[in-house]
Amino acid sequence: MSELEKIIWNVLGYSSMPVIFICGFIGVFVIAVGILKITGNKPVEK
């Protein structure tokens, strides 16, 4: 494998971890909001 290929694979590998974490947080947020909308829970008012 050439040096350029090693650099490309390293960049892809290290950039995939933050993307996976961010997509996971967004997914959990969307599911939580969906559950709250379906169950009819409302935010606490002061």
Determine the longest span between alpha carbons in the chain, in angstroms: 62
Q: How far is CA 3 from the centre of its chain?
A: 30
pLDDT at 10: 93
Alpha-carbon distance of 26 to 30, in angstroms, equals 6
pLDDT digit string (tens) for the chain, length 46 residues? 799 999 999 999 999 999 999 999 999 999 999 998 888 866 677 7
- The Cβ-side half-sphere exposure at 30, using a 13 Å CA radius, reads 6
pLDDT at 44: 73
Give the predicted TM-score (pTM) of the model: 0.60
pLDDT at 31: 96
Region of 7 please: left (phi>0), alpha (psi -120 to 50) or beta.
alpha
pLDDT at 36: 87
